[in-house]
């Protein structure tokens, strides 16, 4: 399976980069994973947030193929356990989905046009996390999902 993670905003913290690099390396036997990092649109006026989100959304959509299955990370998305997340990925694989795209919005959220394109909306929690943390959490959960699917040790 080909997995693409589209994330808005630059990841600056070394410890997050190191964690992501580690899980990217661990995922190599299970899937081809690509991270597309898009620059966040600079917002100089709070009244322009929706315009910035629209601009970010248009950029995100340009990286999504029409046949891709899209999962957005959204506050209002469905909360899944790690086992349920693994089942979702396994089901998509069994259904012949070859490209899975995850979208992480910027600190302002996710564009409505991207949300409308989503095939599934996922939430990690009712709590709010920095979008940079979401990237590390997502890549770790993808790795955990493949370990669960393959019945390999890691998940407890």
Evaluate whether residue 154 is within a structural domain. no
* 38: its two tokens: 């898009």
Residues composing the chain: 156
Average pLDDT over residues 142-152: 96
**What pLDDT shows up at residue 47?**
67
pLDDT band at 14 (very low <50, low <70, confident <90, very high): very high
Kindly state whether residue 156 falls inside one of the protein's structural domains: no
- Domain containing residue 65: CATH number: 3.40.1280.10
- In this structure, is residue 81 part of a structural domain? yes
Residue that the structure tokens 């990092």 belong to: 37
Listed in order, strand segments (DSSP E) in 39-144 are 69-79, 99-104, 120-123
- What pTM was computed for the model? 0.93
- Domain presence at residue 79: yes
Residue 32 lies in a domain: yes
**Sign of the CA dihedral 134, 139, 144, 145?**
positive
- Say if 132 falls within a structural domain: yes
50-69 confidence digits (pLDDT tens): 777 888 899 999 999 999 99
Q: Domain of residue 46: give its range.
A: 2-149
Whether 115 is covered by a domain: the verdict is yes
At residue 130, the pLDDT reads 81
Within a domain: 125: yes
- Specify the number of domains making up the chain: 1
């Amino acid at each position: 399976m080909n997995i693409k993670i589209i994330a808005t905003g630059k990841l600056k913290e070394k410890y997050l980069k190191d964690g992501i690099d580690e899980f990217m390396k661990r995922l190599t036997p299970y899937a081809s994973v690509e991270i597309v990092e898009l620059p966040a649109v600079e917002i100089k006026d709070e009244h322009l947030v929706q315009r910035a989100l629209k601009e970010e959304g248009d950029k995100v959509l340009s990286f999504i193929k029409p046949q891709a299955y899209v999962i957005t990370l959204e506050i209002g998305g469905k909360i899944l356990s790690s086992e349920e997340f693994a089942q979702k990925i396994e089901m998509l694989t069994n259904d012949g989905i070859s490209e899975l795209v995850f979208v992480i919005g910027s600190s302002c959220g996710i564009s409505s046009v991207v949300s409308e394109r989503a095939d599934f909306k996922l939430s990690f929690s009712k709590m709010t996390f920095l979008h940079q943390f979401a990237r590390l959490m997502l890549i770790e959960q993808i790795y955990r999902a493949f370990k669960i699917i393959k019945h390999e040790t890691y998940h407890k």
